[in-house]
Amino acid sequence: MINLLLAAVLLAPSDAAHEAIKAKDGALVAQFEDAIQVNLPSDKSFLKPIVAAIRYAENGGPGREFGILHPRVKPTYRSQAGWAVCTVRNHWDRYIKKGGDPKDMDAFIVDLGARFCPLDDPRDKNGLNKHWIPNVKKFYRRFK
């Protein structure tokens, strides 16, 4: 029994992004980790803190936790997390393909923000999108 407990502790994720999501969403961290495992190849695991930063920046309520507004996204935490992971992963690929600097994560976040949370979005009635890039950058630095 002790060996099983020790193995569970040693194998449990202990990265900052995991801990941040656990602190914010409690047991839902398992759904976050599932979304990461299913949708983010291990060679792109460095993007996980950006997904966690988006969760904190969006701070959405149930069914909108990651701010995904696509009509096909289900209003569940796991669906929001999965769509956020795929959005970040796919945008990374676009960013690199167009010559983005893979070492400049701030530039990537700015580029992602222009697509994910545009300043001219007509749904942004209160002008809150202007805070998205600075907030994601701030949280990314905490979770990387």
Q: Tens-of-pLDDT digits for all 144 residues of the chain?
A: 454 443 444 444 459 999 999 999 999 999 999 999 999 999 999 999 999 999 999 999 999 999 999 999 999 999 999 999 999 999 999 999 999 999 999 999 999 999 999 999 999 999 999 999 999 999 999 999
Domain count, the chain: 1
> Which region holds residue 131: left if phi is over 0, alpha if psi is between -120 and 50, else beta?
alpha
- Whether 133 maps to a domain, the answer reads yes
> Which region holds residue 35: left if phi is over 0, alpha if psi is between -120 and 50, else beta?
alpha
- Whether 55 maps to a domain, the answer reads yes
- Whether 9 maps to a domain, the answer reads no
In terms of residue numbers, what domain contains 135? 15-143
Burial of residue 15, with CB atoms counted within 10 A of its CB: 0-12 exposed, 13-18 middle, 19 or more buried: middle
Cα 120 to Cα 84: distance, rounded to the nearest angstrom = 20
Cα 58 to Cα 90: distance, rounded to the nearest angstrom = 19
pLDDT score at 3: 45
φ and ψ at residue 75, rounded to 5 degrees: -80, 60
Both tokens assigned to 125:
């009635």
CATH number of 112's domain? 1.10.530
Is the dihedral angle over the CA atoms 63, 47, 114, 56 positive or is it negative?
A: positive
pLDDT score at 12: 46
